[in-house]
A and B are shown apart, each in its own frame.
Chain A
Amino acid sequence: MPQPMRISRSLYGQIALALILIFSATQPIYGQVDIENGKKLYKTNCASCHKLDKKLIGPALGGIMERRSEEWLILWIRDNAKLRASGDADANAIFDEYNGSVMQAFPQLSTEDIQNIIAYCEEGDKKAVAVAVAPVLEAEEDPTILLVILGAFLVLFLGLLIRVKNTLKQIQGDPAMSLKDDASYLIRVLANNRRFMTFLTVVLAITFLKVLFSWMMGIGVQQSYEPIQPIAYSHKVHAGDNAIDCNYCHSSARSSRIAGIPSANVCMNCHMYIDGSEITDESGLLKYHGENSPEIAKIYAAIGWDPVDRAYIKGYEQQPIRWIRVHNLPDFAYFNHAQHVTAGKVACQTCHGPVEAMEILFQYSELTMGWCINCHRETKVKTDNGFYDEASSHGGQSINERLAARFHDASIMVEDIGGLECGKCHY
């Protein structure tokens, strides 16, 4: 039996020392300040214009205490216009440096809040420490192992039976038959059995046809298609974690046949500020060591944004991002997003699946004609639309009235208004 591992006294001492050091490092000089609260306030109030380590709209705030006094900062943050009006040289100098762009006043922040923010600015985020972590491979339970074991048992059992049979034959005085003789005898008997052979042929033929049919039905069906995109874009981060509405980026889904892939300038609405340098990994450490995310940098490269100068590069030769289309319909099938999203009020997820949980987007549905037709059979028409509800401008019956006359009180499915007709999708 192995001996239980013994932790030496000196190791305990080292851990304790490390803990003290870490603690003392996070709670160093400022006495009663609350850095966590400071971080929270910073993210809410400051982060849209400031970064700790570099210039954004305003100057970098890391190490601010080396440049400014706490009193000055409190006055500035509370109401910088007043400070400038008082003729403060530093205040006016920084105002001029930033071409007169005005910083918002924060009279609601208490002195303590501001101290907390300053403390956070001094402290900063934890930097990622490069630790080589060996990936842990978990052995998954594999059902094939069970099958192999089972198969082995069966073979053993068969051997046993043959053994028994041979023993019995020996007892009878017959010559023992080898395994090969046995097998060839069996095959001979079966091959001469017409019924068996017919049965076998039919079974094989059906199996072959079934396999062929399934294979052929699968031609062109790209369900679960998950191509590698030029940018490792995550719908989970955008639509899931940050709950951005689908229509924000795919804005034409409401009005056009095409949902549209957002152009790079739509990405820049957010990514002008979010450059990925604050993305943390599982351990809460900065993933890119405070550098810009290389994936977000691809947007900058496409549109010609200089993240250092924080400006678009003049005369830049822009390069569109060449996304790989995931959902492909053949040319002869006409699909219109607006019809489904706006008129039919179908949720995006009905066809596209739980996109908000997809790290890499894949084709969730089959996108076959049978799949479309099925939905048209099972979906009720949203007849509260004025298209159905109102009569034409000069009288006559509305479509709803006519539908009621025909279908009485039955609910009206898409197929009832012609949703299965060829020409609705093929023209």
Chain B
Amino acid sequence: MNNNKVYWKSVDQLAQSETATTFAQNEFAEKIPTTEFLGDDQVMESQTSRRDFLKYLGFSTAAATLAACEQPIIESIPYVIQPESLTPGIPSYYASTYVDGEDYASILVKTREGRPIKINAGDDARFNNSTNARAQASVLSLYDSERLRNPQIDGSAISWPDVEADLMKSIEVSLASGKQFVLLTGSIFSQSFKSVLATLRDRYSNFSHVEMDAISSSEALDTWEMLTGQRALPLLDLSGTDLIVSVGDDFLSGNSVQHIGAAYAKRRKPGKGMLRHVQVESNLSLTGSNADKRIKIKPSEQGAVLGYLVNRTTGSAGLASEGNLSTALKAQLDDLAAEMRAAGANCLTLAGNNAKGHAHLAAAINSGSNAITMKPSYLRSGSDEKINNLMQAMKDGHVGSLIITGCNPVYSRPGFADAMSHVDHSLALCDRLDETASLCSVAAPVPHYLESWADYQPVSGELAMSQPTIQPLFDSKPAIEVLAHAAGISSSAKELSEATVVNTYGLGWSKTIHDGGANIKEGPALNADWRSRVHDGVADASKFANATASGEWELALYGNSVGAGFQSNNPWLHELPDPVTRVSWDNYLTMSAADAMKAGLVNETQSNGALNGSMVNVTLGDVTLNNVPVLIQPGQAAGSVGLAYGYGRTHAGRVANDMGINAYDLNLTAGFAAVSITAVEGEHEFASVQLGHTMMGRKIVNEVTLADYMNDASGESWNEKMTFHTLDGVKSTDEASLWTSHDHQTMNMWNMSIDLNSCVGCGACVVACHIENNVPVVGKEEIRNHRDMHWLRIDRYYSSDMDKEVATAEGLGGIEMYAKMEEPSSSPEVVFQPVMCQHCNNAPCETVCPVAATSHSREGLNHMAYNRCIGTRYCANNCPYKVRRFNWFNYIANDKFADVNPAQDDLGRMVLNPDVTVRSRGVMEKCSMCIQRIQFGKLEAKKQGRPIKDGEVTTACAQACESGAIIFGDVNDSSSAVLAAKKEARAYHLLDEIGTQPSVFYQTKVRNRA
């Protein structure tokens, strides 16, 4: 009988016939480069015959074999005088503070043999004691070989005394000619630095200091200065908050000054009084992905939305103007306003943009909120007005001497380069010859934060210390020392900090250093009467907030893991995919699917599984960004597009140069504007690590609403346990097994719990894993080939509008249903799921390895012996979780990866963890559950003759997670936190039905739906 059915290999084959047809006709997915080889004239003219070739081949193989038998002589060079505090092989930890111009975090630096190799979260008593991806990655920026090594004038080296003499001369000239002497820095919150500035001010009448934040908070600062009398932002306290409403504020992405992720996660524990989160935004941000409810608006509507909420929550209708909001949106906002009124003082509203009026409107809504404390945070102080004035003064030729440090205005402020050309003398105190430094008269290196002394006062009542953990690698000098010299103070940075700690605050130096800081007397609190005065300016503020012109296309800028771009040359931050889009090594215009279709823009999956996208030109005023790739983003508000900061660097170094688009070029200090978009020819190649975006109706991430969770504490209705019917009756997946079970009761049994409710998807754990385990960086091209090496990935799933019930209702067949299931909803709910090796106790990988290179341990771990692996990749094929990574190239020596892999130069290699093997080509690798830490922890306990304490041994990912989503420990310890987590009703195993019995388990996500 004839079979007329047609089967498609893929949805592409059905939908995009052209590519798929070509693909189907070709024997190989990619062209084999025969012409390239045969076309090479030299090859064809070569005198070497085939026989000769075989002879040489044979000889060289034999020679190589023999040469390999020679044992190299290895030297072992001890210290001449070994420091007392140092034992080779044992790490030392130093409390310090991470400040890079954008982020602030209290940290603990792990050093081995005098090299910092890992950044961990700081002491609990300190402010911002958690590390985001950038803080984790910052240790590699120390070993960046592109750092400036010595002071330079026009590319030739000069000495530090010459730099200082040159500076003094320029100051005197500026003083004599009646011109200004200006210092441009990032936000300054160091007491020592401020006292040096005061001396400078006293000494030079023409001195002025201007602060600048790359991503400006100037408008919010202006608002709070007006309201409270202090140019500082109030600290937030979420302990009593029940509802967070964020209008365009991406507060979880790590770009906000205060790390509130931990407090947020703590308040999001499922149960009574669980924090509810509503996000009103245009781009699907990381924060929006975590919201219980997300309302899509265009960027220009943000002011109107805030005004609408002011009118409905403060009890004074008509106070603010509401613009022209659609009826549908108004209905949603009415519901939201009702919730906000119900939450009362327990509601917090955040506004994320730097547009005039937004912060004031949010403050008006928050006038009764208990989350706003009167404690000031000094982390941001940049002023847009002052920078504009400075640029004008520079253009007018009023600036004689300019010192720039801690910021990169030529990159982040369009027009600054032009203004600088009118300055007589400029000195950049910088870490590299960046866009700004390369235009300065003199560029001189400052030490990395891990090489220098500093003191900070990030918030009222807090003194934080930064201490060096390594000798300066280059001939650098802290900016504060150069300025002190100009001020006539001949003290080192250490002496200045010591004077502040000991003399100003009356603290003990050693203890303060050891603790990474101290609590000091609180500064003046913010004026509390702002709550009553805030309503006065609302009408004006709302006028400004509604002033932004709307347009067919509106662009809102955002920050991803690269942030403002201070650490653009750090390959770890690029290798980490954007948590929401899952695209790495790029920035792009995010656009909704409907808009893209309308504009004729496409994203296509190529025959090799890589993603290509159309490109557009984006124009704002007289500035055009050319060839911006477009990425279709579910959840993007119609008519809006998004673009990330931090890319398009030209002088950052070989990793970052010419990668992506510089969003600062649009001069969007407000953060959003109407733009025009025109499609252009050509395709852009994306490096996306995830192509399947939905769960296709499977229970990969288990979800439950808060109401259902509260109704059924046992979890039977929403976390059904899989069972098997066997000859011996019904058995759970843990009991039914074909294999003889392992002895897991005798020794320690390591398990890991991942709480999907706490995980916000930030990616700090991914970077931490990279650092801890010497995971190679593979670069954009290999990621496109799906050869990414992440031992730990964070899968992101969108909900789909299609499910089995809808399909039945609409009478759809299986193929149509599954095809539709692949499409994410245009307003999706988003879940993040970190997936690493699940350490199955019935591991499918172990049974297929022909050489037993992967095997099971008594401690519940799936071991991987690299030296035994012969690279058949059967294990990766058989792994249901797809967590095994094959090492395709010699990443540490192959020239192809010289630009991206830090292990390829002598400096970058210093960051490698000496306790973990650097894997070579041809072996399989995967998460080891940080076995080096387990072994170290057990040995420490044995050395001290005691059992392991719970929490003493933890993995790099668990340690890096600020929201505490990952718990690691020994389930044979009856008091361990991980055992308690295992017994929770929310716990389930990923793909439980296949009976792998993993050592990793997940906690069901609970959504706080109204």
Q: Given A343-B943, A403-B746, A421-B855, are A258 and B975 neighbors across the interface (CB < 8 Å)?
A: no
Best-surrounded residue of B74, B746, B867 (most CB of chain A within 10 A): B746
CB of A392 within 8 A of CB of B973, answer yes
User: Quick one: which of B732-773 are within 8 Å of A by CB?
Assistant: 743, 745-748
B858 interface residue, CB < 8 Å from A? Answer: yes
**Contact at B80–A392, with CB atoms within 8 Å?**
no
What residue in chain A is nearest B919 (Cβ atoms)? A332
Residue interface bits B45-79, CB-to-A below 8 A is 1, else 0: 00000000000000000000000110101111111
- A426 in contact with B81 (CB, 8 Å): no
The answer, yes or no, to whether A423 is at the interface (CB within 8 Å) is yes
Instruction: Tell me if B941 is interfacial: C-beta within 8 Å of chain A.
Output: yes
Which residues in chain A, 302-343, are within 8 Å of chain B measured between CB atoms? 302-303, 318-325, 328, 330-334, 336, 338-339, 342-343
Contact A387 B747 (CB under 8 A): no
Q: B857 — which chain A residues lie within 8 A by C-beta?
A: 418, 421, 423-424
Nearest residue (CB) in A for B89 is: A256
Decide yes or no whether B602 CB sits under 8 A from chain A.
no
Residues of B within 8 A of A390 (CB): 946-947
Please tell me if the beta carbons of B973 and A325 are within 8 angstroms of each other in the complex. Answer: no
B312 to chain A, nearest CB (A): 52
Q: How far is the CB of B871 from chain A (nearest CB, A)?
A: 15
Q: How far is the CA of A198 from the CA of B485 in the complex (A)?
A: 92
In whole Å, how far is A399's beta carbon from the nearest beta carbon of chain B? Answer: 6
The 0/1 profile, CB within 8 Å of A marked 1, for residues 879-923 of chain B is: 000000000000000000000000000000000000111100000
Write out the residue numbers on chain B whose beta carbons fall within 8 Å of the beta carbon of A328: 71, 74
Residues of A within 8 A of B19 (CB): none
A396 at the interface (CB under 8 A from B): yes
Q: Which of A222, A257, A261, A391 contacts B78 (CB 8 A)?
A: A261
Query: Is A173's beta carbon under 8 Å from chain B?
Result: no
Inter-chain CA distance A394–B745, complex, in Å, is 17
Q: Does B949 contact A (CB under 8 A)?
A: yes
Task: Flag A403-427 by CB within 8 Å of B: 1 or 0 each.
Answer: 1011000000000011001111011
- Closest CB of chain A to B925's CB: distance in Å? 10
Do A398 and B74 form a contact, CB below 8 Å, given A256-B90, A387-B938, A422-B868?
A: no
Among A318, A333, A418, A423, the residue within 8 A (CB) of B747 is A418
Bin the interface of chain B by size.
35 or more
Question: Which single residue of chain B is at the shortest CB-CB distance from A407?
Answer: B746
Bound-complex Cα distance A391 to B947 (A)? 7
A293, chain B: closest CB distance, angstroms: 19
Docked Cα-Cα span, A394 to B976, in Å, equals 9
Contact B78 A262 (CB under 8 A): yes
Asked if residues B943 and A255 are in contact (CB atoms below 8 Å), the reply is yes
Q: Contacting B80 at CB < 8 Å: which of A227, A252, A264, A342?
A: A264
Contact of B747 with A417 in the complex, beta carbons under 8 Å:
yes
B858 contacts A402, C-beta separation under 8 Å = no
Q: How far is the CB of B202 from chain A (nearest CB, A)?
A: 39
Name the residue among B947, B973, B976 with the largest chain A CB count within 10 angstroms: B947
B386 at the interface (CB under 8 A from A): no
Q: Is A386 an interface residue (CB 8 A)?
A: yes
Shortest distance from the beta carbon of B780 to any chain A beta carbon, whole Å: 29
In the complex, are the beta carbons of B946 and A386 less than 8 A apart? Answer: yes
Nearest A residue to B748, CB-CB? A399
- A332–B923 Cα distance when bound, in Å, is 12
Bitwise, B932-975 to A at CB < 8 A (1) or not (0) is: 10010011011111111110000000000000000000101111
Report the minimum CB–CB distance from B529 to chain A (whole Å).
51
Name A320's contact: one of B78, B746, B945 (CB within 8 Å): B78
Closest to A262 in B: B78
Beta-carbon contact of A319 and B80 below 8 Å: yes
Contact of A418 among B75, B858, B867 (CB under 8 A): B858
Q: Output the nearest chain A residue to B73 by Cβ-Cβ distance.
A: A324
Q: Which of A265-299 contact B (CB under 8 A)?
A: 265-266
Contacts of A257 in B (CB 8 A): 89, 915
Q: Contacts of B938 on A, CB cut-off 8 Å?
A: 387
> Any chain A CB within 8 A of the CB of B865?
yes
Asked whether, in the complex, the Cβ of A255 is within 8 Å of the Cβ of B928, the reply is: no
Collect the chain A residues with CB atoms within 8 Å of residue B858's CB: 417-418, 421
Residues of A within 8 A of B976 (CB): 392
Q: Which of B78, B928, B935 has the most chain A CB atoms inside 10 A of its CB?
A: B78
Q: Is A175 an interface residue (CB 8 A)?
A: no
Selected contact of B75 from candidates A220, A322, A342, CB within 8 Å = A322
Q: Chain A residues in contact with chain B, CB under 8 A?
A: 219-220, 222, 225, 227, 252, 255-258, 260-266, 302-303, 318-325, 328, 330-334, 336, 338-339, 342-343, 385-387, 390-396, 398-399, 402-403, 405-406, 417-418, 421-424, 426-427
